[in-house]
């Protein structure tokens, strides 16, 4: 098959920075190429137009057309023409902002639910832009097939868009071998790691209250934060890190190290060095960063909302609790820092769960089967 991916982001030197959406496409695209399929990636919103090939994947960088009042329509027509000329067997599109709405593509279209703007705005109790919601609802209705990365995301999307559509749950996946070398790393320092964008929806404003409590019990504990600093939508502050800093006690802040954005390899090294990884998120679909920590066999304390329970079980692969329950969250971290046997048990089970359910080699076949069924029904 020749499979296309339409996306606003993709990690690469030519395509720019990327979050979880682009990373999930990266993982799947490479797994599909290894399985003998052709892959084209169409990245819109780029600084210029360019075609190139890399790692067996064809890339189309597409610059949006700027014309007041008509940009949205003209850009869609431009992207649509590029896609139609690529002779795809199937195209996968994201739910984010519904960019595929009103497009006329000459092959079946599969939409993957990684969390729309409507989805995240509602979970974060923020107002939804009516234009984004209209586009997302239209694109959702138009798609021939729907994939949800978690059942929680599929149900929530149907509820929020007021559309009852059947969907197939296929989780995001990772190349397990890229995140686990088999080396035995001795970690003797009480290092707590958060990696991901510094943004309110990921619960980072709760981290100071949690870490303050940890330091009061384990004074030599260290908190490492790695990820891009983001503008805070609620306050308008250009830096979420600036909002976080004053929330630490003086004693705790002396034990905090914010490293900013790091490369894949650097994140890998940081995970290795940590005793505990924390993810106090309020809004996710099925986060790739959590999968990466699990693949590295790390002890995790994470939020217990919806999607999390589809990834891991409390006391089996991780410790789960609500992020705003600072005392409980801190106690779970302290428990892990003080108990190496528990850390090792949870990490081993997490690694096992990844291999069984979230590894590229397992998940890619689920995608291939769905693509083939969609193509057969389209014809």
Band of residue 18 on the pLDDT scale cut at 50, 70, 90: confident
3-state SS class at 263:
coil
Return the closest-CA partner of residue 233 out of 246, 243, 245. Answer: 243
Tokens, residue 298: 């790390």
Q: Which residues are registered as beta bridge partners of 224?
A: 193, 257
Calpha distance 359→31 (Å, rounded): 10
Return the closest-CA partner of residue 271 out of 295, 253, 252. Answer: 295
- Of 59-68, 98-107, 263-272, 338-347, minimum mean pLDDT range: 263-272
Would the pLDDT of 229 be above 90?
yes
Kindly give, in sequence order, each residue whose CB lies less than 8 Å from that of residue 333, ignoring residues fewer than 6 positions away: 192, 210, 214, 276, 278, 301
Calpha distance 175→360 (Å, rounded): 5
Kindly give, in sequence order, each residue whose CB lies less than 8 Å from that of residue 85, ignoring residues fewer than 6 positions away: none
Band of residue 184 on the pLDDT scale cut at 50, 70, 90: low
- Sign (positive or negative) of CA dihedral 140, 138, 157, 72: positive
Domains delineated in the chain: 2-173+359-378 (3.40.50.2000), 177-358 (3.40.50.2000)
Band of residue 91 on the pLDDT scale cut at 50, 70, 90: very high
Calpha distance 237→76 (Å, rounded): 32
Give the chain's mean pLDDT.
94
Return the closest-CA partner of residue 311 out of 180, 195, 172. Answer: 172
pLDDT of residue 78: 97
Would the pLDDT of 186 be above 90?
no
The mean pLDDT of 14-30, rounded to a whole number, is 90
- pTM assigned to the model: 0.91
Band of residue 185 on the pLDDT scale cut at 50, 70, 90: low
- Of 104-118, 217-231, 263-277, minimum mean pLDDT range: 263-277
pLDDT of residue 200: 94
Band of residue 89 on the pLDDT scale cut at 50, 70, 90: very high
3-state SS class at 285:
coil
3-state SS class at 331:
helix
Would the pLDDT of 181 be above 70?
no
The mean pLDDT of 123-133, rounded to a whole number, is 91
**Residue 269: exposure state from Cβ atoms within 10 A (0-12, 13-18, ≥19):** exposed
The mean pLDDT of 63-84, rounded to a whole number, is 94
Band of residue 180 on the pLDDT scale cut at 50, 70, 90: low
Tokens, residue 359: 């590894």
Other residues' Cβ atoms within 10 Å of the Cβ of residue 266: 13
């Amino acid at each position: 098959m020749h499979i296309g991916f339409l996306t606003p982001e993709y990690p690469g030197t030519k395509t720019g920075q990327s979050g979880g959406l682009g990373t999930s496409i990266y993982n799947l695209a490479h797994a599909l190429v290894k399985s003998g399929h052709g892959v084209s990636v169409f990245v819109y919103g780029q600084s210029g137009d360019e075609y190139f090939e890399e790692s067996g994947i064809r890339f189309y960088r597409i610059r949006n057309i700027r014309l007041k009042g008509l940009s949205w329509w003209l850009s869609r027509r431009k992207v649509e023409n590029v896609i139609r000329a690529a002779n795809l067997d199937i195209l996968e599109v994201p739910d984010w902002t519904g960019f595929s709405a009103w497009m006329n593509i000459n092959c079946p279209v599969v939409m993957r639910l990684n969390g729309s703007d409507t989805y995240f705005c509602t979970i974060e109790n923020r107002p939804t832009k009516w234009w984004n919601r209209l586009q997302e609802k239209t694109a959702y209705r138009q798609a021939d097939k729907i994939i949800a990365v978690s059942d929680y995301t599929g149900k929530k999307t149907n509820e929020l868009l007021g559309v009852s559509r059947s969907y197939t749950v296929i989780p995001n996946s990772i190349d397990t071998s890229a995140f686990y070398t088999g080396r035995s790393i001795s970690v003797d320092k009480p290092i707590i790691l958060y990696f991901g964008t510094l943004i309110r929806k990921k619960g980072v404003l709760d981290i100071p209250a949690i870490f303050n409590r940890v330091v009061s019990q384990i004074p030599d504990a260290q908190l490492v934060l790695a990820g891009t600093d983001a503008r805070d939508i609620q306050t308008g502050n250009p830096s979420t890190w600036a909002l976080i800093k004053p929330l630490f006690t003086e004693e705790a802040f002396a034990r905090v190290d914010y490293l900013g954005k790091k490369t894949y390899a650097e994140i890998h090294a940081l995970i290795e060095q940590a005793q505990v990884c924390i993810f106090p998120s309020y809004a996710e679909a099925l986060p790739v960063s959590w999968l990466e920590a699990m693949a590295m066999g790390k002890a995790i304390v994470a939020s217990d909302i919806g999607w999390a329970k589809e990834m891991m079980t409390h006391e089996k692969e991780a410790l789960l609790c609500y992020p705003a329950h600072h005392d409980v969250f801190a106690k779970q971290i302290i428990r892990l820092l003080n108990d190496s046997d528990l850390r090792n048990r949870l990490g081993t089970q997490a690694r096992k769960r990844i291999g069984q359910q979230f590894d590229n080699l397992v998940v890619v076949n689920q995608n291939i089967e769905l693509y083939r069924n969609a193509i057969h029904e389209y014809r």
